[in-house]
Amino acid sequence: MTLEEQLSGDQSIGKDPDNVVLCLLATDDTYDQDIALQIHFTLIQAFCCENDINILRVSNMSRLAEILGGSDKPGEPADLHCILINSPHELQVKDPALKEVICYCKESRYLDQWVPVINLPER
């Protein structure tokens, strides 16, 4: 999904960024050579910082796909470069694992690491 699609979609980050509690940015081996993806990530990160959305970078997209269940279409890899985690206004974040991740992101910001990185090991 492109940034424009995310910012213009019905359930998107642009319509109501207050519902987004976490943005996962997943990279793979091609990230260093993909200038368009780097620009895309920079724009998403700027938007998230402006709207107080926690950001977490994950460094093994194929492993993340395994953890999350892969792709909707058999034979095609899932595009998991940007995953937005939403939480409705009425409900506080109740999931203890999500609370821990958000706490980790906040602690990282206090240490001047604005986009913490999680390295997922291969199985």
Specify the pLDDT at position 79. 78
The 10s digit of each residue's pLDDT in 67-119 is 887 666 666 667 788 998 887 655 566 778 888 988 999 899 888 888 898 88
The 10s digit of each residue's pLDDT in 48-73 is 989 889 999 999 888 888 888 766 66
Query: Per-residue confidence at 121, pLDDT binned at 50, 70, 90?
Result: confident
Query: Per-residue confidence at 4, pLDDT binned at 50, 70, 90?
Result: very low
Specify the pLDDT at position 76. 65
- List 67's β-bridge partners, or say none: none
- List 113's β-bridge partners, or say none: none
Residue 8 reports pLDDT greater than 60 = no
Tell me if 56 sits within 8 A of 115, measured CB to CB.
Answer: yes
Q: Going from the N-terminus, what domains does the chain have, and what CATH number goes with each?
A: 3-118 (3.30.1330.30)
pTM, to two decimals = 0.75
The 10s digit of each residue's pLDDT in 11-52 is 445 566 778 889 999 988 888 899 999 999 999 999 998 988
